Amino acid sequence: MERAWDLVIRNGRVVDGSGGEPYAADVAIKDGLIGEVGEVRGRGAEEIDAAGKIVTPGFVDIHTHYDGQATWDSHMQPSAWHGVTTVVMGNCGVGFAPCKREDHDRLIRLMEGVEDIPFPVLAEGLPWTWESYPDYLDTLAARSFDVDIGSQLPHAALRVYVMGERGANREDATAADIAAMAAIAKRSMEAGALGFSTSRTLNHRTSDGQPTPTLTASEAELTGIAMGLAAAGKGVLQFVSDFNDGAREFAMLRRIVEASGRPLSFSLIQNPRQPRQYEFLLDQLSDANVAGLEMRGQVAGRAVGVLFGLELTLNPFTHRPSYQAIAKAPLAERVAKLRDPVFRAELFAQGAAADPAFAANMTQNWKIMFLMGEEPDYEQTPDRTVAALAAAKGVTPEEVALDHMLTNGGRGMLYLPFLNYADGSLDPSFEMLTHPDTVPGLSDGGAHVGMICDGSFPTSNLTHWTRDRTRGPRLSLPLMVKMQSRDTAQALGLFDRGLIAPGYRADLNVIDYENLTLKAPQVAYDLPAGGRRLIQRADGYVATIVAGQVTYRDGEPTGALPGRLLRGSQAAPVSMAAE
């Protein structure tokens, strides 16, 4: 008798996440799992014709910041628009648990500063139905989502919870403090945290300019917390660091892994201040893994770039007195004023007020600033910078920048790639992506809502690296699919997904690969308190499937919310466990 399936995807070209060549096959799903791959004879209660399309595993984004959004929203957009079926949040040491009532505003200010999520949005959106980290997980476990969600214990929240003002002021942790943090880390892993994260970069500051509480945490503190994970026998470690002394910093990370036995990943980028340091760190990664230590670099498939615009957090005129006088006016009024020749002349004659903020210092860097078009190009050539365009036209860079921002009713944006683009190309990204000890990450989905829109990384990785790149080598489609599905899943201990094979989670994408198109970023005003955020969508995702249910059709949510909180690592199917 023919078996009845819940869903059958027919006639597709399966890119299965193993890295092997695509093949023609049907995929049958039952009870949220893949039941059969091949020629499926039984009918499905629902069927999708994938003729001319590719079928991939759902993508696993291991570096997001949906910690707040997940408490008030069921849709983890923009990630869910880009084929992502699992997100991992709590990165970079920031989050909202554990947290005592008196520290609510402190953690909001930290997230506001580090991840550019406005205070009113978080103050109105967060329900604060928790104090401990396990309580926070319980809050998430009671909710339903369009993706599965994994969470990590954030160091900043942990440090402030244990040490109070001393922790916020970056005082050294005592032995008792470390023991308390280690105990909470152990309980958090046992409650379902996927790992622990911390930040050691000066780029991460509170909204009032103070460095993150974890910036100068000692090796003893970090090792002590890692030993809490070791005691639980669970969890990964996630670090972001400036690597000002790369050899010394990496040696410390290596010692932490040696002591704890826990896997570790860190953010790996090309910093223009030390443009060749990433090569040294790749070499160190290789040495560590040869020695049997599980260490990975999380890398970005394109430049990390700031967007400037009249609706965004910053633009090149933000700190000029004439603009500040109209900054709070409705967009249409500002556009009219900025088109007035007298006002423009006054604005151009003024200098920008000094601002210590990292991004603000870049608003006049015309030599590495580009126009963001309707068809985004993330690997533009030097002759297309604002400075170069201005020179070619015989005008000032300010004129080119303002004229572009005034397009589309004042919604034009400027793009400044500040990491992974010191060479004026994405060759460093290619080198990092193709290293055996790295995985794609760093999309920051859910964060930087007024400056950065990188939750679209999974789509740009597919389109740019496997199909559209003209300025250097490309990657194969099977390899890129494997990298952002199976490889990322395994990096966080999620062995039940990322592969199209019987017994695995039925998290899948049906993609019109030939016509897959990344759209330009735009602004939406859909956060709590009417807050605005950058979003970016794509054309070409025919269907996205989570646990066997179609969550998106042609980029639009279906209303199905099968996603749940992931509590800890997930084992591979029994039939595949020995693989």
| 129 and 249 within one domain | yes
> Helices marked H in 371-455 — which ranges?
386-393, 397-405, 407-410, 427-433
Q: Is residue 21 included in any domain, yes or no?
A: no
Burial, 332: exposed, middle or buried (Cβ in 10 Å; 0-12, 13-18, 19+)? exposed
| 484 and 344 within one domain | no
The domain total for the chain is 2
Q: Is residue 253 included in any domain, yes or no?
A: yes
Q: Under a CB-based contact definition with an 8 Å cutoff, are residues 71 and 176 in contact?
A: no
Q: What is the pLDDT of residue 207?
A: 87
Q: Is residue 13 included in any domain, yes or no?
A: no
Q: Which residues pair with 308 in a beta bridge?
A: 414
**Single residue among 419, 451, 480 that ends a domain in this structure:** 419
> Helices marked H in 261-396 — which ranges?
277-290, 321-324, 331-338, 341-349, 386-393
Alpha-carbon distance 425 to 381, whole Å? 7
Alpha-carbon distance 346 to 344, whole Å? 5
Q: Is residue 97 included in any domain, yes or no?
A: yes
SS3 for 111-155, per residue?
Answer: HHHHHCCCHHHHHHHCCCCCCCHHHHHHHHHCCCECCEEEEEEEH
**Single residue among 398, 419, 440 that ends a domain in this structure:** 419
**Single residue among 376, 402, 419 that ends a domain in this structure:** 419
| 208 and 253 within one domain | yes
CATH number at residue 107: 3.20.20.140
Alpha-carbon distance 65 to 449, whole Å? 11
Alpha-carbon distance 314 to 308, whole Å? 5
Q: Which amino acid is at 480?
A: M
| 350 and 207 within one domain | no
Q: Under 8 Å CB-to-CB from 273, ≥6 apart: which residues?
A: none
- Residue 235, Ramachandran bin (φ over 0: left; ψ between -120 and 50: alpha; else beta): left
| 329 and 229 within one domain | no
Q: Is residue 464 included in any domain, yes or no?
A: yes
| 322 and 456 within one domain | no
Alpha-carbon distance 307 to 304, whole Å? 10
Q: What is the pLDDT of residue 340?
A: 98
| 370 and 430 within one domain | no
Please provide the distance, in angstroms rounded to a whole number, between the alpha carbons at the two ends of the chain. 31
β-pairing, 538-539 vs 541-546, is: unpaired
Alpha-carbon distance 434 to 414, whole Å? 29
In the 8-state DSSP scheme, what is residue 565? B
Q: Which residues pair with 522 in a beta bridge?
A: 535
| 311 and 411 within one domain | yes
Q: Dihedral sign, CA of 325, 327, 328, 332?
A: positive
| Residue whose entry in the numeric block shows the structure tokens 């009870």 | 31
Q: Under a CB-based contact definition with an 8 Å cutoff, are residues 454 and 444 in contact?
A: yes
| 283 and 324 within one domain | no
Q: What's this model's pTM, rounded to 2 decimal places?
A: 0.96
| 466 and 348 within one domain | no
Q: Under a CB-based contact definition with an 8 Å cutoff, are residues 40 and 27 in contact?
A: yes
| 369 and 221 within one domain | no
Burial code (b: 16+ CB inside 10 Å, e: under 16) for 9-44 equals bbebbbbbbbeeebeebbbbbbebbbbbbeebeeeb
- Token pair, residue 306, equals 């700031």
Number of H helices, E strands in the chain: 20, 24
- Token pair, residue 132, equals 């401990």
Q: Is residue 498 included in any domain, yes or no?
A: no
Q: How many CA atoms lie within 13 A of 207 on its CB side?
A: 17
| 336 and 297 within one domain | no
- Full residue range of the structural domain in which residue 398 is found: 307-419
Give pLDDT tens digits along the chain (579 positions): 466 899 999 999 999 999 999 999 999 999 999 999 999 999 999 999 999 999 999 999 999 999 999 999 999 999 999 999 999 999 999 999 999 999 999 999 999 999 999 999 999 999 999 999 999 999 999 999 999 999 999 999 999 999 999 999 999 999 999 999 999 999 999 999 999 999 999 989 988 889 999 999 999 999 999 999 999 999 999 999 999 999 999 999 999 999 999 999 999 999 999 999 999 999 999 999 999 999 999 999 999 999 999 999 999 999 999 999 999 999 999 999 999 999 999 999 997 665 555 555 789 999 999 999 999 999 999 999 999 999 999 999 999 999 999 999 999 999 999 999 999 999 999 999 999 999 999 999 999 999 999 999 999 999 999 999 999 999 999 999 999 999 999 999 999 999 999 999 999 999 999 999 999 999 999 999 999 999 999 999 999 999 999 999 999 999 999 999 999 999 999 865 444
Q: Under a CB-based contact definition with an 8 Å cutoff, are residues 60 and 489 in contact?
A: yes
Q: Is residue 32 included in any domain, yes or no?
A: no
Q: Under a CB-based contact definition with an 8 Å cutoff, are residues 131 and 98 in contact?
A: yes
| Residue whose entry in the numeric block shows the structure tokens 């009532």 | 101
Q: Is residue 51 included in any domain, yes or no?
A: no
Alpha-carbon distance 348 to 395, whole Å? 12
Calculated CA dihedral for residues 169, 170, 171, 175, nearest 10 degrees: 130
- Token pair, residue 546, equals 């989570």
